[in-house]
Amino acid sequence: MHRFANPTRFVALARAVQPWAMTIALATLFAGLWFGLLASPPDYQQGETVRIMYVHVPAAWMAMFCYTGMAGASAVALVWKHAVAHVTARATAPIGAAFTFLALVTGSLWGKPMWGTWWVWDARLTSVLILFFLYLGYMALENAFDDRARGQRAAAILAIVGAVNVPIIKFSVDWWNTLHQPASVVRLDGPSIHPSMLTPLILMAVGYTAFYIWVLCLRVRADINMSKVRALKLRNA
């Protein structure tokens, strides 16, 4: 880990990983959408609307994955003062917020035909909405200081505090009687979902993850380049 605390080395790694992540993301997203939207059977109860699942469920997974990654990177940044970890956390926040927004919007579009309402205040929906506000708060706090280093450190502490919400989201469907269904893929007794639907779901999940890595590499490189430009400008000023 300490090896990659060096920005130059990290940028070289990101540059090498980026085209691979892009290829995997585009290939699996294309295949996943084809299987999900065209080549998988409609649900016996939900009909064609079940196809929203292939966009919604991986987005919700990524929303939590990105937050966990952001909190982990923030902890690393605070403990070992890795500058690159700060950059990674900062680059993750808008991506995670976008996934959370996508999960909320597609969930709402799915809820209307299935539950008869765009929104219910059940534990899963509320805790994901709070996750979205935590992302917004992180980004706002990050940008609220004239001194960039201050914003980074304050936002890192906030990201760690907000991590209490992640297990609440995961277990909200078990702890409360919610309209949202409980987990059907990540279960101790194996997935309770038919392989014809599991295949596109897994493809989409891989595609979303690869997309995250692709955009993360792009954003981290852009961020580090921006810092270099800023440093050069300061030197010449």
Partner 1 sequence: MNGFSALLKRDLKLAYRQASDSLTVLAFFVLATVLFPLAVGPEPAILARIGAGVVWVAALLAAMLSMDRMFQSDYDDGTLELLVIAPAPLELCVLAKACAHWLTTGVPLIVAAPLMGLFLNLDPAGYGTLLLALALGTPSLSLIGAVGAALVLGARRGGALLSLLILPLFVPVLIFGVGAVEAALTDISARPQLFVLGALTLAALALTPWPAAAALRQAVE
To partner 1, the closest distance from the beta carbon of 235 in angstroms equals 24
Position 14: which residue type?
A
> Which range, of 10-18, 82-90, 160-168, 223-231, touches partner 1 by CB under 8 A?
160-168
Sign of CA dihedral 164, 167, 169, 171: negative
- Whose CA is closest to 152, among 99, 216, 65, 88? 88
Pair 81, 186: CB distance under 8 Å: no
d(CA 219, CA 175): 37
Note the Cα 68 to chain centre separation in Å. Answer: 9
To partner 1, the closest distance from the beta carbon of 145 in angstroms equals 6
Q: Judged by CB under 8 A, does residue 96 bind partner 1?
A: no
To partner 1, the closest distance from the beta carbon of 103 in angstroms equals 17
Tell me whether residue 68 or residue 184 sits nearer to partner 1 (CB atom).
Answer: 68
To partner 1, the closest distance from the beta carbon of 202 in angstroms equals 32
Positions 112 through 141 that interact with partner 1 (CB under 8 A):
126, 130, 133-134, 136-137, 140-141
Q: Judged by CB under 8 A, does residue 178 bind partner 1?
A: no
Note the Cα 45 to chain centre separation in Å. Answer: 30
Q: Judged by CB under 8 A, does residue 154 bind partner 1?
A: yes
Place of tokens 């290829």: 23
Q: Judged by CB under 8 A, does residue 144 bind partner 1?
A: yes
To partner 1, the closest distance from the beta carbon of 127 in angstroms equals 9
d(CA 141, CA 64): 20
The 3-state DSSP class for residue 43 equals strand
| Residue 142 tokens, joined | 């990050």
**Options 81, 150, 187, 228; binder of partner 1; rule CB under 8 A:** 150
User: Contact positions toward partner 1, by CB under 8 A?
Assistant: 78, 126, 130, 133-134, 136-137, 140-141, 144-146, 150-151, 153-154, 157-158, 160-162, 165
